[in-house]
Structure 1
Amino acid sequence: MTPSKRLDIQEFLDTRPFAGFQWRILLLCLFVLILDGFDIVAMGFIAPALVADWKMPREALGPVLSMGLFGLAIGALMGGPLSDRFGRRRVIIGSVFFFGLMSLLSTWSSSIEMLSVFRFLTGLGLGASQPNAATLASEYAPKKYRSLMVTVVYCGFTLGAAGGGFLANWLITGWGWPSILFVGGVAPMAFALLLAAMLPESAKYLAAKAHGRVALERIVNRIAPGTANAHTEFMLPERAVAGKGAVKMIMSKPHTVTTLALWVGLFMNLMTVYFLNSWLPIMVKDDGFTLADAAMVGAMMQLGGTFGNIVIGWLMDRWDAYRVQIGALLCAAGFTIALGQLSLGVTGLMTLCFLLGFCINSANTGWTAMAASYYPTSMRATGTSWMTGIGRFGAISGASIGAVLLGMHWGFGQLFLALTVPIGIAALAAAVKGLQERGHPRMADRSPPVGTARPPA
């Protein structure tokens, strides 16, 4: 009889070179976020054309923007527990197809109410797909590249958002504002079919589930042929806590303070980001610039975030993540003050918005990198997605507050100065998280092995 061999899945993945299998997962998850980014900020880019087409005041778009973000929040809250129960792969594929279908259907909207409903439904799929794609990527990443892999995946969001800005003028000029939503619908539906053929399940998720050993053995041997067989015992360095739901686990000691700090930090960060995503093009246009200038300024902010995501992930893998996060947020506050105080031409405005996007969008991604690195496998998808879901209510607040302040006729400078408040609170939350982790480092426990025998057919 062949002797049993114990294989620690975390150690196995940490010691593998970053080869073709990991590159495939990275690229697939990256493209999920590209599609997410394009669709999430689509309303911000089409808002000026929609206001002109439907002949309504700009603040009337508040319900559309808020309902889409509310759908994102609910989708994230649902997606994490579903992923921890049914697997990352199924949730990602289903949610990508769903938000594509809803975006496609929204092109036929004929009223604010109808468009609001479809944006809510689109948001459900977007909210579930984004944190689960980041979770899956993090679970295949070697430890020394984990934060970088998560933040590179989140570059997809800013790439997709920037692409929306660059495409907006061309598509809207030729085919009207519904063309943005049409592209944001067809592309995800087609990509969901590719994901079904190419996206693997998380090896760590399979190791935590007794029924996953056959698929896990196949994945391990694809990464390193000949490593596993029917007698291999698969183990995780984290022990699942029996009898507790994942949501209860992330709120129980020693995770309570860290979980709350992550929630507050991302809430405030997303309040700032979605205030800008939703209203920056209109703010720029109302300040005397053209519609083309407004689209380019918005795109430059997203492009800055793309570069910032790579830098912050690289830094977090080398220094204390919370210190890097605080630095990014303080720099973002400095750039919002500059935008509020300086009178700039379009070139200066694009430059400062690029730098602001570099800092604030990378900090936004930094929360996900910190959560994915902090929570153990048994609660990682729930911890990450619940943080994202709570944060989405900050996004809703940002879009709604923007509508109120614009309705009160706040000026360009006043709006930017107001953003220093949520940014400062986010920096404080990052400091609390860092101090809590230093005082109570997370213990790495060892889980019982997945059984050596194959389950019956």
Structure 2
Amino acid sequence: MEKKSVAGGLVVLVCFLIAAVEGYDIQAFGVAAPKMVPELGLNPAQQGWAASAAMIGLVMGAFAGGWLADRTGRKPVLVGSVAMFGIFSLVTAAALSYDALLWARFATGLGFGGAMPNLIAVAVEIAKPDRRAATVAAMFCGMPVGGATSALIARVAGDGLDWRTIFIAGGVVPLVLIPVIVLLLPETRPAHDPAADRNLVRALFAGRRAAPTVLIWAAFMLTLVVLYLALNWLPTLVVDKGHPPAQGFAAAMAFNIAGVVGSLLVGGVTDRLGWRWPLAAVYVALAAAMAGLAAAATPFAILALSAAAGFLVMGAQFSLYAVAPMLYPVHLRGAGAGAAVAVGRLGSIAGPLIAGELRNAGFSPSQVFLTMTPVAVAAAVILLALARTARPAA
């Protein structure tokens, strides 16, 4: 039993590291933006599209990665995915034009997408039933740790840091991590059952799963609108409020560090109390935090409310990761989780684009933050509806 626990801990650690390098790269775009945007001559709409290109790739990669892993195994898909986002992070650092940046971010996102549903499936499959949310949260809190690392590097290095260096680091680390994945990560794919129905459409919509599928997708999308708007635009919006770039980096770091704490605490609470009411309350609190961030003017208030928003939105998102795969049969868990990640990621595409278009239309930073309040309230309502219709498959 002790040996099994140690092995499980190593698997969580490996997956935590994979999530950390993903989180680093995703946050790196927002951290690099204040210097990257003027150097490449991007307008706000182009910045929004460049930020969303990785998420468009992630949508495609998540569908393909989850489906492929249920057939070939999670480990080879993870290795290939990590290699892909490592290589194209380096290509991002070499971009000299808007078009080159756009395609590099898209390819990086394909790698992200291939990895994410498999991390979710691995977490659910190695965890005890009463520890699933906490295990997923422990694994995926690597994402805000990576994001905070990106912001911390930028803050410590100061104005002399070349934005390209941020992406070089984000490309080298995943490539170094590949041998660790090969050596330590076991294959967790369920044994092949010739009689199992592997039709993805039926897995998602048959057996009274249609309503839960649509609702979990909607919850993912709305959560990710808020999360990725903040991840990609928080430093820029803080600077546009009249604060120095260092304050924007500090807000991003506070958002991510608090997100780690929120991931673990919210995951633990949902394991103990169920996810219906705790997550609904988290979304209502998130709406209040975004409204507060819109009104914040002092550095202390901006840091405190950025931290509150990170705590709440990441706590909610990573708990949803634990909920999603349990709605589907075990032999289609990777594909089901991949579909939820992929469709939900439409929100991560929309978030940066919404911010870019609102800024282009003349909205102030405060008004951009305020638009996220009704989004969080809608997510709370959807969560309550999901709880009434969900029938876990395992």
Q: TM-score range by the shorter chain?
A: over 0.9
CA positional deviation for 1:248: 2.8
**For 2:272, what is the secondary structure of its paired residue?**
coil
Q: Within the alignment, does 1:280 sit opposite 2:280 as a pair?
A: no
Q: Which residue of 1 aligns with 2:349?
A: 396
Q: Which residue of 2 aligns with 1:26?
A: 12
Give the AA of the match of 2:39.
D
- Alpha-carbon separation, structure 2, partners of 1:261 and 1:209: 30
Q: Within the alignment, does 1:201 sit opposite 2:155 as a pair?
A: no
User: 368-377 or 294-303, which moves further after superposition?
Assistant: 368-377
Aligned with residue 330 of structure 2, among 377, 386, 390: 377
Alignment map for 1:36-435 (pairs within 5 Å): 36-170=22-156, 173-202=159-188, 205-206=189-190, 208-209=191-192, 242-341=196-295, 343-435=296-388
In the alignment, structure 2 segments of 5+ residues that lack a partner are none
- Alpha-carbon separation, structure 1, partners of 2:370 and 2:46: 24
- Alpha-carbon separation, structure 2, partners of 1:130 and 1:397: 19
CA positional deviation for 1:244: 4.1
**For 1:166, what is the secondary structure of its paired residue?**
helix
CA positional deviation for 1:83: 1.2
CA positional deviation for 1:194: 1.3
- Alpha-carbon separation, structure 2, partners of 1:423 and 1:52: 32
Distance 1:55 1:117, change over 3 A: closer
Runs of 4+ in structure 1 over 6 Å off = 15-18
CA positional deviation for 1:165: 0.7
RMSD of aligned Cα (Å)? 1.8
- Alpha-carbon separation, structure 2, partners of 1:241 and 1:268: 37
Does the aligned pair in 2 maintain the 1:36–1:130 contact within 8 Å?
Answer: no
Give the AA of the match of 2:382.
A
Distance 1:367 1:322, change over 3 A: same
**For 1:120, what is the secondary structure of its paired residue?**
helix
CA positional deviation for 1:443: 6.0
How many residue pairs are counted as aligned between the two chains? 394
TM score, norm. by length of structure 2: 0.95
Once the two structures are superposed, what CA deviation does each residue of 1:413-455 show, in whole Å capped at 9, x if it has no partner? 2112110122122112111110113xxx4465xxxxxxxxxxx
Identical aligned residues as a percent: 27
User: 280-289 or 50-59, which moves further after superposition?
Assistant: 50-59
Once the two structures are superposed, what CA deviation does each residue of 1:58-81 show, in whole Å capped at 9, x if it has no partner? 433122112111011111111110
- Alpha-carbon separation, structure 1, partners of 2:235 and 2:352: 13
| Structure showing greater Rg | 1
In the alignment, structure 1 segments of 5+ residues that lack a partner are 1-14, 211-239, 445-457
Give the AA of the match of 1:140.
I
- Alpha-carbon separation, structure 1, partners of 2:2 and 2:340: 30
CA positional deviation for 1:174: 4.4
TM score, norm. by length of structure 1: 0.83
**For 2:362, what is the secondary structure of its paired residue?**
coil
Give the AA of the match of 2:83.
F
**For 2:273, what is the secondary structure of its paired residue?**
coil
Query: Which one has the bigger helix percentage?
Result: 2
Distance 1:249 1:114, change over 3 A: same
- Alpha-carbon separation, structure 1, partners of 2:337 and 2:277: 20
